[in-house]
Amino acid sequence: MIAVFASASPSFPVLPALILTPLLGALLVVVVPRSRPELLKLTAVLSTMATGAMSLWVLFAFDAGAEGFQFASRHVWIEDLGISWLFGIDGISLFLVVLTGILFPIAILATDPEHDSRAYYAWLLVLEGGVMGVFISLDLVIFFLCFEIVLVPMYFLIGRWGHGNRTYAATKFFLYTMAGSALMLVGIVSLAFLHADATGGALTFDLVVIAEAQSVATDAARWVFLAFALAFAVKVPIFPLHTWLPDAHTEAPTAGSVILAGVLLKLGTYGFLRFGLYLFPEATHHFAPVFLVLGVVGIVYGAVVATMQKDLKRLVAYSSVAHLGFIILGTFALNTEGIEGGLLQMVNHGISTGALFLLVGMIYERRHTHQISELGGLQKSAPILAGVFMVVMLSSIGLPGLNGFVGEFLVLVGTFNAHRWYAVVAAGGVVLAALYLLWAYQRVFHGPAEGDNADMPDLRLREGLVLAPLLALIVVLGIYPKPVIERMEPAVDALVEHIERHVDGFQEPTSRMGIDIALDGADSGGDH
Amino acid sequence: MPAQAGTVVAPEVLWWALVPLLILAGAAVLLLTVASLVRRLPEWLPATWTVVAGLAVLVAVVPLWNRVQDDGARSFLAGSVGIDGSTLFVTALLAIAVVATALLSRAYLAREDLPGVELYVLLLLSAAGGVVMASANDLIVMFLGLELLSLAVYVMAALHLRRIQSQEAALKYFVLGAFASAFLLYGIAFVYGATGSTRLARIAGYLSTTVLLEDGMLLAGLGLLLVGLGFKVAAVPFHAWAPDAYQGAPTPVVAWMAAGVKAAGFAALLRVFVLTFGSWSGEWQPAVWGLAVLTVLGGSIVAVVQTDVKRMLAYSSIAHAGFLLVGVQASSDRGTAAVLAYLGAYTLLACGSFAVVTVVGGAGDDRHGLDAYRGLGARRPWLAGAFAVLLLGQAGVPFTAGFVAKFGVIAAAVEGRSYALAGIAMLAAAVAAFVYLRILVALYMEAEGDAVEVDVAPWGPRIVIAVSVALVLFLGVVPGPLIDLARDAVPVLVGG
């Protein structure tokens, strides 16, 4: 490796380690001797746990008050093109990294593959490395590399260990996302060249340098933004580009669904924050109405379609479309509450939908069906499972006191301040969420239990232990989200200020507009 | 360089610069002579001989490269032959392709029970032709190189005597190739008529100092040159021969056709268009733009509907030619470097992929349907895994050499403000990805149907597969060496 330390960081390079540890784990999994198959899962669990522990360490070592990127490191990759392994973490990426660190060991512990466990664990570990790379990369090309590479493990996970129509789902997933991001590469390269032309400097793909300079002409920036936005919109997915999602989620193996919903969908929403709002403030502001509309449509459409699903897993998948609509809405409200709410919603959706997919997977293991009509009365045979499902489902609905509420509430507050009527329609989505989830719960868990449903075994200890951390997070984040919010806030404030600085005549839409102008700079903190 | 003297003098010959060519041609002649004198050659000898010759060229290129980097490019034989970075870069690629093809051929000939010496002789001669093309500083020399390269490959394509497809492939390739040669020659004549020379340096010099009152003849010449070379690199719409030739020809020969012939063809394209007619890029860029769009889209889209893996790879190789044309279209140093880097990556990908196809093809060389690949992931995990890496590399997935290659040409296109072309090429890449996915699906996700047992690969193909996979991954993660070499290999015109 022709790596050069540009900025000497005295401490342990924790961010590169977040990527390398799972990759090393994958390598170990590949070389585990054939005679010791039991080591496969152990290796996978240990390497994801080590990664998770490191992400927690980052969480605690993170300086909550500071804005800007922490733990930054830089290693030159291709000197000629100005591409570096440039990593850093701020309040926006911090919790997504932690979420990734937590969800992977859970997904691996929760279920075992039916065949080819060596390749299964290896792909999952590669996937974790790629996802971590997306969240911590501050170089556009490296970001793109990681953004694209996650397709490969996910493709194989769905295609080899999925259900029924897995080949179709896997191929659709791969092609949709690859076609979506095809233009992003052109956009990235164009941006770098335009930036180099405008500043007369050398070619660079450094996100912070390009974003702070804002050197690209407005028109060009808008086109490039659209190239990025298409990639993210497919990844999120935003209505009407969402059609790969129900297939992929439904056919993926449980761990795949958990990771797909919990983490992979956040690649798109995170992309919008980091490479949309930050990189193209003017274009984001210009196109925000489009995304607000699509976000609201996604909320309502996802909810309505979820209501009509006969397949429990597909229902959860469509509920994701609705939840991600909220995230988009908050993001493009372009104010602190909206963006923070969107960020919180990303984490919360990862936790609750991840847990929902785990639970659906557990039901499938027992009953070998996802069809709601074939289930029923499970509460009698599996009361604990039903109870856990209830809590997770309520969190997903956004019941106050559980985590889902905080994010959704902030999104609605932010949107209400910025664009009142969008918030009104979106609030209707919350009601619909209650409708389809409660109705599904009622059909699956209530009523008479017949046939196999009557003697379905309840949660085992192992399954309970796997779910426990998620349940704890659901409750803790619902009651006391302050530590999370106060770590997000400096970064989000800085982002909003960045947009205000670079968009003529744009003022953060807040409820206290008059006061804010008078006390500019004196706000932030304390009011949450 | 001194100006041309009026008197006839024996042209200067830089023998050191000819070493790679002499090794290849000498090895071919020597092998042919020995084979015709000795009644029964040991079976291993011709292949080993060819591999050694290829490796010798690779070794010989290193000091030449250093010399050219230190002292600059040179031109000799009265300015008709040159040596520069790109010459040596392409020579090295050809040598790699020769070694790979020879390694594959030995196993193939043994399996098919075919007589062997001719293939190696022709391979070496063809490579010598490629080297001539890459070092040509004169259109006539380039034509000679092209003919040497092509004629050898026509015969190589027909080498499988008992397969009618092999004969058909060779005939098609020959007839259309002859057409292409005629176009090329006609174009050379027009260019000579318009500029008064066939020397690249003189043409370039003439065009930079003279304003043509009538440019019709030159444009006609350029067009014909583009058609002729377009045939050779299988650019749409001049690609009709490629799928049939790829499907019918013996698989190791296909590896050479994909890797070697393409590298030589693009070396010629770069020398003629970017280097010589660089000042006229405004005239030919639109044509290459159109050719590139047709080629990336045509190759990718038609590949989707194929059911024969060899044909799929043939169309995908057409799509790759489209990507290479994107780099040519930029008509810049970055574009040229990108094309060379792409050729480097593609040489590895093509040799590796066709090595796998050689193995799976089995005795008779006819198991190329997707069926033959069904369930290979379970039965032959290493072979299937290697193929998966090579296919993902061809799809341009990050951390493979294929991505580095695509990134380079896209960057070159964007630098030249050809945003639309870059976008179309990337979308075509997404379409092409579907082709590779179909093969991956067959490898890993479909139950074995009437799967036929694949023989254990002999060590020749094994080496090719292992080395190409290792390099594809290595250059994907550490692309610096490839990019630096390609950057330093930008061709220069010297002499007059």
DSSP line for B325-379: HHHHHH-SHHHHHHHHHHHHHHHHHHHHHHHHHHHHHTTTT---BGGGGTTHHHH
Between chains, do A175 and B430 touch, taking CB under 8 Å as contact? yes
DSSP string, B171-240: HHHHHHHHHHHHHHHHHHHHHHHHHS--BHHHHHHHHHH---S--HHHHHHHHHHHHHHHHHTT-TTS-T
Best of B404, B440, B443 to substitute, by most chain A Cβ atoms within 10 angstroms, is: B440
Residue A56 has what pLDDT?
92
Residue A200 has what pLDDT?
85
Residue A229 has what pLDDT?
93
Judge whether A80 is closer than 8 Å to chain B, CB to CB. yes
Residue A427 one-letter amino acid: A
CA A179 to chain B, closest CA, distance in angstroms equals 5
* Residues B148, B128 contacting (CB under 8 angstroms): yes
Alpha carbon of residue B374 to chain centroid: 30
Residue B267 has what pLDDT?
93
Best of A147, A181, A189 to substitute, by most chain B Cβ atoms within 10 angstroms, is: A189
Average pLDDT value for residue range B200-210? 88
Q: Residue A63 is encoded by which pair of tokens?
A: 């300086």
Between chains, do A81 and B480 touch, taking CB under 8 Å as contact? no
Mean pLDDT, chain B, integer: 89
Question: Chain B contacts of A144, Cβ < 8 Å?
Answer: 398
Residue A513 has what pLDDT?
45
Instruction: Identify the bridge partners of residue A207 per DSSP, sorted by sequence position.
Output: none
- Mark which residues 433-452 of B lie under 8 Å from A by CB: 433-434, 437, 440-441, 444-446
The chain B residue lying nearest A190, using CA atoms, is B414
Judge whether B420 is closer than 8 Å to chain A, CB to CB. no
Query: Given a cut of 80, is residue B450 above it in pLDDT?
Result: no
Residue B4 has what pLDDT?
54
- Which of these ranges, A133-137, B112-116, B474-478, has the smallest mean pLDDT? B112-116
Q: For residue range B361-414, what is the model confidence (pLDDT) as tens digits?
A: 887 777 888 888 888 888 888 899 999 999 999 999 999 999 999 999 999 999
Q: For residue range B7-51, what is the model confidence (pLDDT) as tens digits?
A: 777 788 888 889 999 999 999 999 999 988 987 888 888 999 999
Q: Residue B88 is encoded by which pair of tokens?
A: 């040596």
Residue A1 has what pLDDT?
32
Judge whether A144 is closer than 8 Å to chain B, CB to CB. yes
Between chains, do B441 and A182 touch, taking CB under 8 Å as contact? no
The chain A residue lying nearest B411, using CA atoms, is A189
Residue B209 has what pLDDT?
85
Residue B328 has what pLDDT?
94
* Residues A281, A503 contacting (CB under 8 angstroms): yes
Residue B496 has what pLDDT?
52
Q: For residue range B55-82, what is the model confidence (pLDDT) as tens digits?
A: 999 999 999 999 999 888 888 888 889 8
Between chains, do B427 and A183 touch, taking CB under 8 Å as contact? yes
Cα distances (angstroms) measured from residue A276 to each of A184, A332, A349: 12, 10, 21
Nearest to B419 among A151, A159, A186 (CB): A186
The chain B residue lying nearest A165, using CA atoms, is B445
Residue B449 has what pLDDT?
59
Question: Chain B contacts of A183, Cβ < 8 Å?
Answer: 423, 426-427
Q: Residue A295 is encoded by which pair of tokens?
A: 């976000």
Question: Chain B contacts of A145, Cβ < 8 Å?
Answer: 398-399, 403
Residue A420: CB atoms within 10 A of its CB come to 9
Residue A521 has what pLDDT?
42
What does the alpha-carbon distance between residue B285 and residue A75 come to, in Å, rounded to a whole number?
38
Question: Chain A contacts of B484, Cβ < 8 Å?
Answer: 80
Residue A512 has what pLDDT?
53
What does the alpha-carbon distance between residue B335 and residue A166 come to, in Å, rounded to a whole number?
41
- Mark which residues 396-415 of B lie under 8 Å from A by CB: 397-399, 403, 407, 410-411, 414-415
Q: For residue range B208-246, what is the model confidence (pLDDT) as tens digits?
A: 888 877 788 999 999 999 999 999 899 988 888 899 889
Q: How does strand A83-89 pair with strand B81-83?
A: unpaired
Q: Residue B388 is encoded by which pair of tokens?
A: 């998966």
Q: For residue range B285-341, what is the model confidence (pLDDT) as tens digits?
A: 999 999 999 999 999 999 888 888 999 999 999 999 999 999 999 989 999 999 999
Which residues of chain A fall below pLDDT 50? Answer: 1-9, 513-528
Residue A145: CB atoms within 10 A of its CB come to 24
Between chains, do B484 and A151 touch, taking CB under 8 Å as contact? no
Please choose, from the candidates A346, A212, A204, A219, the residue with its C-alpha nearest in 3D space to the C-alpha of residue A273: A346
Between chains, do A186 and B422 touch, taking CB under 8 Å as contact? yes
Residue A514 has what pLDDT?
38
- Give the residue carrying structure tokens 């080297």: B131
ipTM: 0.89
Between chains, do B429 and A160 touch, taking CB under 8 Å as contact? no
- Cα dihedral B179, B180, B185, B190 in deg (nearest 10): 100
* Residues B243, B163 contacting (CB under 8 angstroms): no
Between chains, do A81 and B411 touch, taking CB under 8 Å as contact? yes
Give the pLDDT band of residue B126 (cuts 50, 70, 90): very high
Judge whether A191 is closer than 8 Å to chain B, CB to CB. no
* Residues B419, B291 contacting (CB under 8 angstroms): no
* Residues A328, A485 contacting (CB under 8 angstroms): no
